[in-house]
Structure 1
């Protein structure tokens, strides 16, 4: 039986984060192909994490080297660039023949550039992308044998703008196994909903935007309410709760499918971010049309009609939210659009074969694959002579 070792910054929380859902999908892919899976992490986020078999590791400790030599897997999967940065050099030293895969989740440098532009109230320029996160993240991409890219926009950005060799990249979005049409009709739904993990800054900014525009929606729909769900809501989030305004902060969502089948419209005025938006993908699956922004819908529908509306101005966002809430015809059309998007972009069967074909090709020609990635070899050499010795120094310091 082949063996996959995942090194995770945190234990997956699929009910709380899109990243957690993504990791569980990747684990399922390997499990279906009969891989034994070992999940290693230094994290302690146990309470809301998925019930998977986890082994604890320590940062800057040679016990990690002994552990992975004993495990001796065929493949290592890093759940984001900072995990590869911390442990990648140890993997290369202790298990040099194992394939190294990086799941980027989204491009963190792109998200950071957009965050900074949002704060500074300006448009993102190409030079903004080449920030400190870019240098670290691209180094991790180049050091790995394969990087999984969740967004087609980000995939094209890496290839066309930054000239990353497509042989070390693979586009693989969220995977939908069961694509069905909506079963809960317009007439049985009511109110608006927003959802998002509050450890993620764009979700907090989304809720602040909703707070600022909600009165305009409520003025025309006085019976409607907006329910805000999200894990890790802090006091500042709960301070926005206002019964009189119909702006209700609900906290953690225990069952997303149940919640999404209750409401009529999802509101997601996402101001910045990267990757794919898990809430919008789930809204398509559960028959919940949405109103979002260009950033929110990025890379999620190609040229297909959206399952709702995409609006960046506050005025048009409010107008379309009200229109979609009131029109059963538009609402049903939005759900038809969602069905087509899921079939053409997120059907699991579109990607499984390509995934295993690429893994097999790398496995059969690993050294040749690495030799062609000469920049990766250079960066690997320098990491072993910088990160390695810093980590060894910390180990010695900790012993004393």
Structure 2
């Protein structure tokens, strides 16, 4: 991929200190940069105070507008080799413009997680029922997201569970998918470099939860902690505290703060790794969601064992033992949390399990090679790849026309204001 230009079209500007999605995006940007490519990140979103300094990474920035032909002029001049859409919404908005004005660009969709799966799980939780394949196949959001996957030349899927779902339920050709979890250095490499030396059992204290509060599953998890899990833990550990961290905490989050209960709401953490490594146990009673839960992987990196749910652990450990406990029932969850917190031998074993998961499942060198191989293979004969993807070609011809002319109508309407 030498002497190539890679354009990212982001739903938001990367905030690696605020969310796992931000960390993931920075990993992708650095991957292409390290391949020798000229990397440009663009977004129609407003920048927040927590946006990463992309210039320091040698990455160019470009502010773009929705429903505006100025993007056409921009991409005509840039003529990127690769275009990466950050989430399906960006592909819907800009995919037809890329196809029209940079037709030879390889189009990649980074899903972060499958939004329709997260949404259906949320709906099922409200109705106290299981998610079925029929529900997924009838999901309007699934139709939108799958259409984007088919229209793109390659989609990056962060979880093996979601890879299996796309192939077995939605019959997506494996050539259109690339399994790409978090790209992490091996734990032994971190320890040898002295980059981070995690604290031991006796140096750590209290419990922690961390998560971006724009993300609905995180708010739901904090409520579960407040209402059911934490009161049980406090009966056994009356001096312990639960520290709640997360970007974009609103008033309703801060209203849960209670010093007497040991339920401490801090809000945004300037350094997530630091606050995680200070805690002895991570709690994450996540009841719905999709993708990989960055907080749990970060806890492993800082050798902080965790207690979570099946949804929380999904896609992370594979067949390896979890670095703590997995329970869906809040009572079992609370009792397991107390055991993990108080029994050092069990805690130490959990740390070892976490190190094994990181080394065996998230080795950056392995997954970067797989991504490079997938991209190079498609670029060798992009036209043949697209010809083979007949559904994608059909959708590009038909469904994008609606997006195209709706966008043009909005643009004309905006000019007349």
Task: Sort the TM-score into its range (normalised by shorter chain).
Answer: over 0.9
In structure 2, the partner of 1:162 is 170
Task: Quote the residue 1:203 is aligned against.
Answer: 218
Matches within 5 A, 1:238-317: 238-317=254-333
Q: 1:183 to 1:235 in 2, by over 3 A?
A: closer
Stretches of structure 1 lacking an aligned partner (at least 5 in a row): none
Task: Give the TM-score normalised by the residue count of structure 2.
Answer: 0.95
Alignment RMSD (CA, Å): 0.9
Is the CA contact (8 Å cut-off) linking 1:269 and 1:293 kept in structure 2?
A: yes
Residue 160 of structure 2: which of 149, 152, 156 is its match?
152
Distance 1:46 1:218 in 2: 37
- Aligned match of 2:366: 350
Q: Is the 8 A contact 1:179 1:347 kept in 2?
A: no
Q: Secondary structure at the match of 1:101?
A: strand
Q: Distance in 2 between matches of 1:234 and 1:117?
A: 26
Q: Is residue 124 of structure 2 the alignment partner of residue 134 of structure 1?
A: no
1:183 CA displacement: 3.5
1:97 aligns with 2:107: no
The number of aligned residues is: 400
Q: Does structure 1 retain, via aligned residues, the 8 Å contact 2:109–2:155?
A: yes
Where 1:241 maps in the other structure, the secondary structure is: coil
Q: TM-score when scaled to structure 1?
A: 0.99
Q: Indicate the residue corresponding to 1:177 in structure 2.
A: 185
C-alpha distance in structure 2 between counterparts of 1:77 and 1:374, whole Å: 21
Aligned to 1:16: 18
Q: Distance in 2 between matches of 1:12 and 1:384?
A: 27
Residue of structure 2 equivalent to 1:65: 72
Unaligned runs of 5+ in 2: 55-59, 192-196
CA distance in 1, matches of 2:131, 2:176: 27
Structure 1 residues 247 and 348 mapped into 2: Cα distance closer, same or farther (>3 Å)? same
For 1:385 and 1:218, locate their aligned partners in 2 and report how far apart those are by CA, in whole Å. 58
Give the secondary-structure state (helix, strand or coil) at the position aligned to 2:278.
Answer: coil
* Residue number among 184, 195, 202 corresponding to 1:187 in the alignment: 202
Task: Answer whether contact 1:89 1:383 (CA < 8 A) is retained.
Answer: no
Q: Which residue of 2 aligns with 1:329?
A: 345
Instruction: Describe the SS at the equivalent of 1:102.
Output: strand
Superposition deviation, residue 178 in structure 1: 4.0
Q: Which residue in the other structure is 2:115 paired with?
A: 108
1:109-138 alpha-carbon deviations (Å, 9 max, x no partner): 100100111111211111221211100000
User: 1-side partners of 2:198 and 2:140: how far apart?
Assistant: 47
Cα distance in 2 for partners of 1:89, 1:300 equals 34
